[in-house]
Amino acid sequence: MEVSLKNNVSRQASYDCWLQYEKIRDHEYYNQYVAYSRGIAVVGDSPILKSALDELERGLFSMFGQKSTVYNEAAKEASIIAGTFESIPLEDYGLNKASLINMNEEGYLLKAVKDEEKIIVAAKSDKGVLYAVHHLLRLLQLRESLKQVNIVESPKNQLRMLNQWDNMDGSVERGYSGQSIFYENHKITTNLERIKDYARLLSSIGINAISINNVNVWKVETKLITNDFLPDVAKIADILRAYGIKTFLSINFASPIEIDGLQTADPLDPDVKTWWKNKVEEIYRYIPDFGGFVVKADSEHRPGPFSYDRNHADGANLLAEALEPFGGLVIWRCFVYNCLQDWRDRSTDRARAAYDHFKPLDGDFLDNVILQIKNGPMDFQVREPVSPLFGALEKTNQMMEFQVAQEYTGQQKDLCFLVPLWKEVLEFDTYAKGEGSKVKNIVNGSLFNDKFSGICAVSNIGNDENWTGNTLAQANLYGYGRLIWNPDLTSEEIAEEWIRSTFGQDPSVVEQIKQMLLDSWSIYENYTAPLGVGWMVNPHHHYGPNIDGYEYSVWGTYHFADRDGIGVDRTIETGTGYAGQYYSPNKEMYNNLETCPDELLLFFHHVPYTYKLKSGKTVIQHIYDTHFKGAEQVEELIEKWNGLRGKIDEIRFVNVSERFQLQLKNAKEWRDQVNTYFYRKSGIADENNRTIY
Amino acid sequence: MEVSLKNNVSRQASYDCWLQYEKIRDHEYYNQYVAYSRGIAVVGDSPILKSALDELERGLFSMFGQKSTVYNEAAKEASIIAGTFESIPLEDYGLNKASLINMNEEGYLLKAVKDEEKIIVAAKSDKGVLYAVHHLLRLLQLRESLKQVNIVESPKNQLRMLNQWDNMDGSVERGYSGQSIFYENHKITTNLERIKDYARLLSSIGINAISINNVNVWKVETKLITNDFLPDVAKIADILRAYGIKTFLSINFASPIEIDGLQTADPLDPDVKTWWKNKVEEIYRYIPDFGGFVVKADSEHRPGPFSYDRNHADGANLLAEALEPFGGLVIWRCFVYNCLQDWRDRSTDRARAAYDHFKPLDGDFLDNVILQIKNGPMDFQVREPVSPLFGALEKTNQMMEFQVAQEYTGQQKDLCFLVPLWKEVLEFDTYAKGEGSKVKNIVNGSLFNDKFSGICAVSNIGNDENWTGNTLAQANLYGYGRLIWNPDLTSEEIAEEWIRSTFGQDPSVVEQIKQMLLDSWSIYENYTAPLGVGWMVNPHHHYGPNIDGYEYSVWGTYHFADRDGIGVDRTIETGTGYAGQYYSPNKEMYNNLETCPDELLLFFHHVPYTYKLKSGKTVIQHIYDTHFKGAEQVEELIEKWNGLRGKIDEIRFVNVSERFQLQLKNAKEWRDQVNTYFYRKSGIADENNRTIY
């Protein structure tokens, strides 16, 4: 019985992710704050405020073990008083609304008042109240002191979004955690409870928008915007709305043809315009606060304006005009490139494509269009430079696209904590308006004063019990939300928050896992494609090594390794000129072999294997060393994890252990294939005579 | 109307293959033989004789344009008199039965008698009569002279078999001509007419056995030997029987477990023995002349005796014991190897596997077991040595396995006439019993006096209108049947027969297509994997180049190319020892770099790119030259084919033209990827400075 009970407990823990709210067993801490849990007031009864109240009750009960008395006004018996500035008598608690003027629409105040007898949870909007409640619960869950707590906080980014790449057959493109939680058998799921639980998780980390179907919109999915499915989409939107999350749909640009048999989807055709106008009206009848459309057009065989000799601005503006009266947005993806490239053609460079396509259109988009730009110019590799489109678009709304799903970073078998990668991107200085023009200040809209902006990412969840396949991959979803809420948080802070919320307060557990998370990106990079060259993965599924897997393909992803050297010459003088897409001094830094950072050397330059890196090693020795090291580091991760046995529940322990074994196998395969490939090609022996096959 | 009529005519031609029986428009020839078509007698009324009569009537009517009067006895009004030696009064026609004693059970006599007024079509068996009728029709169709015709003929091989790799979902493993004609939707087809037409085609080329399901026996197919499906299998067997073809089934070695839930499939377990005994009895109740089982066991993840620590003889004999009372056979495949090899492991050699597994068991098999051995030690590559197992098994029935389906030889997009390849194999001298121990004399059972022997092949047909995808691939099916009937026919003879039966008598058409067919294997070899090294194909589907596609895989198929050289060392002294599996002097010929034939050099030796071939060229220059040449040759094939426009019907012209365009694309891709790969690796320039990317 004990075992099965324990299993149930930890199965629940797998499912609850970072919303564990473990019972407080520290008596001092308990006694200090238990009074707060006795009476709570949430003033107002909107669905969002109901969610806030629900979270508050649930969290407090779970941690303090007693049910709170709930008031629907700022009763004097209530210890926690939550509501908007309009609904709470701020002055009664010595608070001055004017002092909160700089807070944004989603910001909030958390403040202990009346000699710490009460905590005020106040915000401009209902959504802010919900975020504030989560903040308060997080503080308690992390066992932080609430003494004289006085927090004024606003999210740094406007749109904080997830893209589900879910298909209606139940599959998830690039999904590594089971099937879709949104669809099954070409219908919308009837398991709405799971969607609500997803919404809870997302609201707790501040996500406020989601697109619920794959950017590749296939036949059935095209009909999501018809009355076949809109009633069910509206049900999902209702659930998400109650957690402050707006619903978006990915659409098929050829919808007028495919849904209603129009002859064309030409964005300048009057019938097409009318069609979209009517379609959008129809959608808003079902979902009055519908977010808008996400569009992958003229990319990887998806239809788009190019078919009609129109450009991306024509295409996006068509939809934007229809959405504008309702406040809807068009999120237009910039992942556009020639996916039928001839490998023989060295002049075409996929890395240039987004900039080449969209920079000339800067200023041509309506102001409810946002261009969604992947963090790098290629496709979510373990190491890429930042897309030069960030900073290049001065008159166009733009947002960042990350990938929480670990497509090229271990597929949730291998551990790869991505927050450090994302931080590097956000901290990158584009010099678009001189020094300090960091990416984070572009995507938060401040540098170019964009009307709309933000960050989105491909989600990593599925219907696995623990949402993310590998339990440790929950850290990426958590970390993503926290980082885009506030990009100034450090990776360490985020990791520690997640671990303590997920696995509890044992300092040895926290330290061990934190180190593992923080090392993991570098470890993964060590045993995979070296020095920024990318790919070298198995075609189609993208897991495991295949050095020449894409070398003679149509995808524009080459390393050009020969017997003498490796790398892609993207310099201005002798290469594809890609380096010239950056502002100075980045342009010169990348363009110049001497100043190009080691980790991106092969992205920008073709060099001999004997080229000496800044580290002092030759390229070939670096390849050997990092690959031997990477596999060893995975063995160390396993040892560290084994040290945690008994300190965390068995279900989650085993879940991660199993995946580490897969990672080890993968790392050894990468090590041996990469080393053998380059030894065969270069003929240069490893200085340390380790085994190369 | 004219066009659609013409289309219908040629669609019929696509479907009829070599059984066109085009109207005789040559007056002289017509007048010479029209009398034969007036009265025909087929004595006897067995299903096979009914088929013979049907073929005869149909063919004569089609060629002479008049309906024959049919007699069921050797009436004096009949000009063609067909029947067995028992049923025809041979002496009346001056024939002496004793002189035909050396003819085998399937042999026959075709003889003009009574001053050429009559033709006698006589055989030991009904089947022989059917073959004789086909022979007579072939002579007429080829417009051969029947003057004093006097042919005594027997097939040279006993089992002349096809293996269908058809699955019950309707797919065909390695099928390039549509779906299965035998199955759809996990059921046996209701379109039995098509199966009858297939039987007609097969009987016309002497095929006398067929296994009707894939050697990989999946879940549903496992049940073919249950009463769920046996009634329908029996219907197919009825049709095939009427054309002299015995029905075999591929079985799942784990059937006792999967069908009836036994705990084991151990071949020495008494319950398992009983199970198979009962099962075989059941099958024979439905199909009294059932041929037997084809078995792929312990190969590529299929179950087999190894699971129970038994060997292949134990496994085969289990089934043989059950089949023996009914005269059934076990055809046990020798395609057994480690398909989870570690590419790092250079000591394991897949080429050795069949010999290593089966040679030690020689003599251990019951005498209704036949071992089915693929022509080469690997897997139907464009160039392989002959399997050393031929000749090594002195006390075991054995048969050859060819592949008519063009899995590795262009997939019925690219033209590759395989008769020359098969002939090379059959003419190979194993020296098993000294000089003259040719493979053809092993597989016909004569060298070791085997009780059962023969040749089988994977079929290349599907439900495409023209059966084989590429119309020219019909030549491989035709050629396979004709060659195994009589391995002494030349490739030229077979090609010419097929062309004249298929496209008519225009000498320019015949000559042009004949040259194309005869050149095609060499052309295909030119642009694909060089010098016998094999593979270099895209994983899974096996079409198109991927030089390293299998280089780091589990499949045991490597080329070991590095910056200095390429090839697999299979010598006795420094390699895997595979060369030692041959008899002298083949052993020494292959083992010795100086005597190893160029075309197999890289199969047996790892050599530097600068190694000089017997041709005088270096290996690297040979690679460049053959690859440039191969692609050019495909352009020449296209030119030649274009020259036939208007001389053959448009449907078949276009069918082939379209495939030639695919072949050209494929050949160029091979050329460029192979040349670039080896240029990058070797750094050695093409002597003729042609474009290498």
B97-125 pLDDT, tens digit each = 887 888 999 999 999 999 999 999 999 99
With a threshold of 0.90, does the pTM exceed it?
Answer: yes
Of residues B674, B578, B570, the one with CA closest to residue B627: B674
Of residues A149, A137, A292, the one with CA closest to residue A201: A137
A379 is catalytic: yes
Stretch B512-538: mean pLDDT: 98
Q: What is the ipTM of this complex?
A: 0.90
Tell whether A342 lies on the interface with B, counting CB pairs under 8 A.
no
CA gyration radius, chain A: 26
Q: What is the pLDDT of residue B97?
A: 82
Residue A6 pLDDT more than 80? no
Q: What residue type is B674 in one-letter code?
A: V
Give pLDDT tens digits for B367-379: 999 999 999 999 9
Q: What is the pLDDT of residue A4?
A: 44
Q: How far is CA B214 from the centre of its chain?
A: 15
Tell whether A672 lies on the interface with B, counting CB pairs under 8 A.
yes
Expressed in angstroms, the distance from the first to the final Cα of chain B is 51
Stretch B179-198: mean pLDDT: 97
Give pLDDT tens digits for A201-219: 999 999 999 999 999 999 9
Give pLDDT tens digits for A236-254: 999 999 999 999 999 999 9
User: In this structure, what DSSP letter does residue B450 have?
Assistant: -
Stretch B334-356: mean pLDDT: 95
Which residue is it, tokens 């089971």?
Answer: A178
Q: What residue type is B466 in one-letter code?
A: N
Give pLDDT tens digits for A405-456: 999 999 999 999 999 999 999 999 999 999 999 999 999 999 999 999 999 9
Give pLDDT tens digits for B44-97: 999 999 999 999 999 999 999 999 999 999 999 999 999 999 999 999 999 988
Q: B11 falls in which pLDDT band (50, 70, 90)?
A: confident
Tell whether B553 lies on the interface with A, counting CB pairs under 8 A.
no
Three-state SS string across B268-322, please?
A: CCHHHHHHHHHHHHHHHHHCCCCCEEEECCCCCCCCCHHHHCCCHHHHHHHHHHH
A497 is catalytic: no
Q: Say if the Cβ atoms of A682 and B563 lie within 8 Å.
A: yes
Residue B439 pLDDT more than 60? yes
C-beta atoms surrounding A199 within 10 Å: 21
The string of DSSP codes covering B353-389 is HHHHHHGGGTT-S-TTEEEEEESSSSSS-SS-PPPTT
A636 is catalytic: no
Stretch A277-282: mean pLDDT: 98
**Both tokens of residue B172?**
């065909």
Query: Which residue does chain A place closest to B681, by CA atoms?
Result: A563
**Residue B638 and residue B645: Cα distance in Å, rounded?**
11
* Closest residue to B344, CB basis, from A672, A679, A680: A672
Residue A566 pLDDT more than 50? yes
Could you tell me if A40 and A68 are in contact, meaning their C-beta atoms sit under 8 angstroms apart? yes
Mode of pairing for the β-strands spanning B453-458 and A565-566: unpaired
Residue B6 pLDDT more than 80? no
Residue B618 pLDDT more than 80? yes
Q: A9 falls in which pLDDT band (50, 70, 90)?
A: low
The string of DSSP codes covering B221-255 is HHGGGSTTTHHHHHHHHHHHHTTT-EEEEEE-TTH
Tell whether B348 lies on the interface with A, counting CB pairs under 8 A.
no
CA gyration radius, chain B: 26
Residue A3 pLDDT more than 50? no
* Closest residue to A344, CB basis, from B564, B672, B679: B672
Is A301 or B407 the better-scoring residue by pLDDT?
B407
Give pLDDT tens digits for A68-90: 999 999 999 999 999 999 999 99
Q: What is the pLDDT of residue A7?
A: 54
Give pLDDT tens digits for B650-684: 999 999 999 999 999 999 999 999 999 999 999 99
Residues of A in contact with B562 (CB under 8 A): 679-681, 683
Query: Which residue does chain A place closest to B682, by CA atoms?
Result: A563
Q: Say if the Cβ atoms of B563 and A344 lie within 8 Å.
A: no
Could you tell me if A332 and A371 are in contact, meaning their C-beta atoms sit under 8 angstroms apart? yes
Q: B4 falls in which pLDDT band (50, 70, 90)?
A: very low
**Residue A350 and residue A357: Cα distance in Å, rounded?**
11
Angle at A264 between CA A258 and CA A265, to 5 degrees: 75
* CB-defined contacts A:B, below 8 A: 52
Q: What is the pLDDT of residue B8?
A: 62
Tell whether A547 lies on the interface with B, counting CB pairs under 8 A.
yes
Q: What is the pLDDT of residue B5?
A: 45
**Residue B384 and residue B600: Cα distance in Å, rounded?**
7
Instruction: Give residue A65's region: left, alpha or beta (phi > 0; psi -120 to 50).
Output: left
Q: Buried b / exposed e across B125-149, counting CB within 10 Å, b at 16+?
A: bbbbbbbbbbbbbbbbbeeeebeeb
Q: Say if the Cβ atoms of B344 and A693 lie within 8 Å.
A: yes
Give pLDDT tens digits for A40-49: 999 999 999 9
Give pLDDT tens digits for A99-111: 788 899 999 999 9
Give pLDDT tens digits for A107-162: 999 999 999 999 999 999 999 999 999 999 999 999 999 999 999 999 999 999 99
Q: What is the pLDDT of residue B96?
A: 85
Q: What is the pLDDT of residue B9?
A: 65
**Residue B290 and residue B267: Cα distance in Å, rounded?**
22
C-beta atoms surrounding A184 within 10 Å: 16
Give pLDDT tens digits for B167-178: 999 999 999 999
Stretch B385-393: mean pLDDT: 98
Residue A1 pLDDT more than 70? no
Give pLDDT tens digits for A475-489: 999 999 999 999 999
**Residue A445 and residue A441: Cα distance in Å, rounded?**
6
Q: How far is CA A51 from the centre of its chain?
A: 24
Q: Say if the Cβ atoms of A562 and B681 lie within 8 Å.
A: yes
Q: What is the pLDDT of residue A102?
A: 84
Q: Say if the Cβ atoms of B563 and A681 lie within 8 Å.
A: yes
**Both tokens of residue B345?**
């492991």
Average pLDDT of chain B to the nearest whole number: 96
**Residue B110 and residue B138: Cα distance in Å, rounded?**
12
Q: Say if the Cβ atoms of A693 and B343 lie within 8 Å.
A: yes
- Taking each helix axis from N to C terminus, what angle separates A2-16 and A650-682, rounded to the nearest 10 degrees? 60
Of residues B559, B603, B560, B561, the one with CA closest to residue B581: B603
Which residue is it, tokens 């560290």?
Answer: A640
Q: What is the pLDDT of residue A8?
A: 61
C-beta atoms surrounding A307 within 10 Å: 15
Stretch B605-629: mean pLDDT: 98
Q: What is the pLDDT of residue A100?
A: 82
Give pLDDT tens digits for A671-693: 999 999 999 999 999 999 999 99
The string of DSSP codes covering B592-607 is STTTS-GGGHHHH--E
**Residue B100 and residue B123: Cα distance in Å, rounded?**
9
Q: What is the pLDDT of residue B98?
A: 81
Q: How far A387 CA sits from the closest chain B CA (Å)?
A: 29
Please state which of the ranges A121-125, B61-65, B300-304, B327-331 shows the lowest mean pLDDT: B300-304
Largest CA distance in chain A: 80
Stretch B175-183: mean pLDDT: 98
Q: A98 falls in which pLDDT band (50, 70, 90)?
A: confident
Q: Please compute, for residue A489, the number of CA atoms within 13 A of its CA located in the half-sphere on the CB side.
A: 23
Q: Say if the Cβ atoms of B552 and A676 lie within 8 Å.
A: yes
Residue B407 pLDDT more than 80? yes
Q: B7 falls in which pLDDT band (50, 70, 90)?
A: low
